[in-house]
Structure 1
């Protein structure tokens, strides 16, 4: 088991090294001078030269990479040009809405997809199965921002049950802020549930007719216990994998949804940084999202140890 964990840790570090290198290269090979783009067309040559020196862009490329890597090891992602504060601080201030939005979205997706996927596989070929798979294909084809606009129109504008946008005022309580996340989390969760449902159904179909399931039935074990304890537990590995990938994609894919609902999250910050050409913020956000993606996959690999004893050996 320790060898398994060590391999995953080394793999995680290798992936992050590649990501850091790619992010560094992308920013440096982008067309135009980053300093001139950030300052705009009205900047003087002296202003551009000053910013280049401040960002270290006047150094040789290998020196820039060494400085960049050394800053990352110290937890320094640079300083935002327009916000005049460290990038890590700016991202941390916007992390709460994105974190809760991702958490609620994956919970909604799991609560919809896993029970429906299990029942769909158990009643394979039935009307329930056909309706479930059809709705899953429909949900997978719906853009989350379009669904979000429909939810706003119906639940917020017409019924007035939830806020239209925003995240509450500066002094808003936790319940008020979480109420602003219901509609965006629902729009993301419904769309994300389609993939989880299909994987759950396919994985359950692979194990429902296995020998150990038939043996459990022949011993007189209850059908619910057979399905949940024997079938679903052995079908959980692919389901955990797709849930982890979905959670990672939600972290990086909530940009449009946060913009539609006016949430002050990391996605909204990235959109603003792109419009302002604030390269340090864009670069830092890419690295943070990549690190979260790798971390989530590592945690899923650790869950394999609890779900499947064979992984430990």
Structure 2
């Protein structure tokens, strides 16, 4: 187990290093001068040159890269060119909406997908099974921004059940902020429930055909116990895998939903950072997302031991 964890940690370091390098190169290949964008179109060339020197943008790319790596090793993600604050501070101020949106969306997806996937596998070939497959394909095909706009139109504007956009005012309570996340969470949850539903159904179909399931039924066990205790437990590894990947995707891929509902999350932040050529914020966000991905993958692998004691590393 120790050697496995050591290998995984080394792999995590390699992945993050590659992400750092690729991000650094791609960001600087983008057209536009951050200093000119910060000062505006009326700035004099001398002012732009002075700001480039102050920001270190006049140095060779290799020097900027080594400086960047050295700062990362010290835990310094850099200074935002637009906010004039440490990138870690900027990301921390935007993390709450994105994290809670991902958690609520995953909860909605699980509530929708898990029972339907189990029942569809148990009633294979039935009308419900066919409807579940069709609904999953429809949910995966409709873009989240369209679903969000429809929900805004009818559930927020017409019926007034939920806030249409925003994250509450400056003095909004935690409950009020979470209330603003309900509609975006439903939007993302419906879209991402399709993959979980299909994996749950496929895993359950495979397990329900095993000999030990037929043996459990032959011994007189109730269908509920056979499905939930024997079949679902043994089908848990693929389901846990797709749940972990879905959570990581929700954190990093909620950009469109955050823009539609005007949420001050990390997705909105990175879009604005790209438009402003705020290199440190773009790099810091991608580093955090890459670290989240590898940590979620590691946590998912370790959860296999909880679900199935036969798993050995």
Q: TM-score, normalised by structure 2?
A: 0.94
The alpha-carbon distance between structure 1 residues 48 and 161, as it changes in their structure 2 partners (threshold 3 A), is: same
Does the Cα contact within 8 Å between 2:184 and 2:261 map onto a contact in 1? Answer: yes
Gaps of 5+ in 2: none
Does the Cα contact within 8 Å between 1:105 and 1:185 map onto a contact in 2? Answer: yes
Does the Cα contact within 8 Å between 1:196 and 1:242 map onto a contact in 2? Answer: yes
1:302 and 2:302 are equivalent in the alignment: yes
Corresponding position of 1:250:
250
Corresponding position of 2:133:
133
Distance 1:31 1:267 in 2: 21
Deviations 1:110-157 (A, max 9, x none): 111111111111100001101111111100001111101111111111
Does the Cα contact within 8 Å between 1:136 and 1:193 map onto a contact in 2? Answer: yes
Distance 1:14 1:273 in 2: 26
The alpha-carbon distance between structure 1 residues 17 and 153, as it changes in their structure 2 partners (threshold 3 A), is: same
Deviations 1:258-292 (A, max 9, x none): 11111111111122222222222222212212221
Corresponding position of 2:17:
17
Corresponding position of 1:68:
68
**In structure 1, the residue corresponding to 2:311 is in which secondary structure?**
helix
Distance 2:229 2:3 in 1: 29
User: How much has 1:254 moved relative to structure 2?
Assistant: 0.9
Q: How does 1:255-270 map to 2 (within 5 A)?
A: 255-270=255-270
Coordinate RMSD, CA, aligned: 1.7
Distance 1:231 1:300 in 2: 20
User: How much has 1:69 moved relative to structure 2?
Assistant: 0.9
Q: TM-score, normalised by structure 1?
A: 0.94
Does the Cα contact within 8 Å between 1:38 and 1:278 map onto a contact in 2? Answer: no
Deviations 1:237-259 (A, max 9, x none): 11111111111111111111111
User: How much has 1:173 moved relative to structure 2?
Assistant: 1.3
Distance 2:273 2:27 in 1: 14
User: How much has 1:46 moved relative to structure 2?
Assistant: 2.7
Q: How does 1:138-217 map to 2 (within 5 A)?
A: 138-217=138-217
Corresponding position of 1:119:
119
**In structure 1, the residue corresponding to 2:209 is in which secondary structure?**
coil
Residue range with higher mean Cα deviation, 289-298 or 185-194 = 289-298
Corresponding position of 1:285:
285
Aligned length in residues: 313
User: How much has 1:2 moved relative to structure 2?
Assistant: 2.3
Distance 2:153 2:60 in 1: 54
Does the Cα contact within 8 Å between 1:5 and 1:302 map onto a contact in 2? Answer: no
Deviations 1:42-92 (A, max 9, x none): 333333333333333333333322211111122211111221111111111
1:82 and 2:86 are equivalent in the alignment: no
Does the Cα contact within 8 Å between 2:33 and 2:277 map onto a contact in 1? Answer: no
User: How much has 1:236 moved relative to structure 2?
Assistant: 1.1
